[in-house]
Amino acid sequence: MTLAAAFAERIPGVSPGVFGDADFRAIAEIAHASAGIVLPAEKAMLVYSRLSPLVREANCGTFTNYVARIRRDEAEQARAVAALTTNHTFFYRESHHFEHFAAEVRPGLVRRLRAGGSARLWSAGCSSGEEVWSLVLTLLGSDRGEGSRLAAADLRVLASDIAPHALAKAAAAIYPAADLGPVPAVLGAAWTKVAGETAEIAEAARSVVRFRSLNLHGPWPMRRKFDVIFCRNVMIYFDSPTKERLLLRFAEALPQGGYLYLGHSERVTGAAARCLHQVGPTIYRKDEP
């Protein structure tokens, strides 16, 4: 018996006629072609649990019918792929990245902004926003007056994700107060407002961020280069050729001296390694090959 069929039989009220191996393979092929996501056989349970609500909402009855639906309906396909993404993160995750950014990158960006220049940063795969807000708070710093002046300068932070529900939470910028525990106290005091058990990111900090739905596997509408790109724990869902293509695109989106921050289990490989050189744990700077 196939993995997906055996899994389906273990679910009360669900038979292989509702979710079978062919359905799983088709969904895995669609996810890989549209977003570079790799779904090995052991992800059958995840596929079933994430997509079952969409199958019901679409009144498709079976996954076979739903597969036919998403093959012809681009909007529904995007919704299905977004549902298959994992949106687990937290504030100041991999804190050494923010420590490096504060010590090695922020001073130069602050000097440039004070002198009337611009700064562009990108949280690629921002999920529910904890990463981008950690980055913004670190950049603005503990001095609310200076940070407000930086926010009023030519500073923009792009926060992109493929999942609309994650983007909506990120843009709302409201979290359980307990979730902000990892935020350095001086930054939390300067840029968050706590009311009871809820914390909200201050408007001045929110003003610099632009949230956009973006499939990293597809076209990028951005034309300007980014001084800093965070893309952490996103490529773990891609195969090696997809990772290497994405890394090269990131390298092309950075100026000389720009920085790329990856997740703890991710590394720069392929053609991008000729110009992205490691300067810290999963931290890379673009230099001449």
Beta-bridge mates of residue 156: 120
How many whole angstroms separate alpha carbon 120 and alpha carbon 137? 15
List of residues 6+ apart from 107 with CB closer than 8 A = none
Give the whole-angstrom CA distance, residue 14 versus residue 7.
9
In this structure, which amino acid lies at residue 231?
C
Per the annotation, the verdict on 212 as an active-site residue is no
Q: Rounded to an integer, what distance in angstroms lies between the CA atom of residue 101 and that of residue 140? A: 12
- How far apart are the C-alpha atoms of 30 and 263, rounded to whole Å? 25
Catalytic option among 23, 161, 227, 232: 161
> Of 25, 50, 69, 245, which residue is the catalytic one?
50
Tell me which amino acid residue 20 is: G
Residue 25: what are its φ and ψ, rounded to 5°? -60, -40
Helices (H), the chain: 3-9, 21-35, 44-57, 63-72, 74-83, 95-100, 106-114, 130-140, 144-152, 164-172, 185-191, 203-206, 240-252
Write the secondary structure of 47-73 as one string of H (helix), E (strand) and C (coil).
HHHHHHHHHHHCCCCCHHHHHHHHHHC
Q: Is 75 helix (H, G, I), strand (E, B) or coil?
A: helix
Report which DSSP code applies to 80. Answer: H
Q: How far apart are the first and last CA of the chain?
A: 52
Which tokens belong to 146? 């200076």
Residue 50 annotated among the catalytic residues of the structure? yes
Q: Cβ distance 96 to 230 under 8 Å?
A: no
Q: Which residues are catalytic?
A: 50, 161
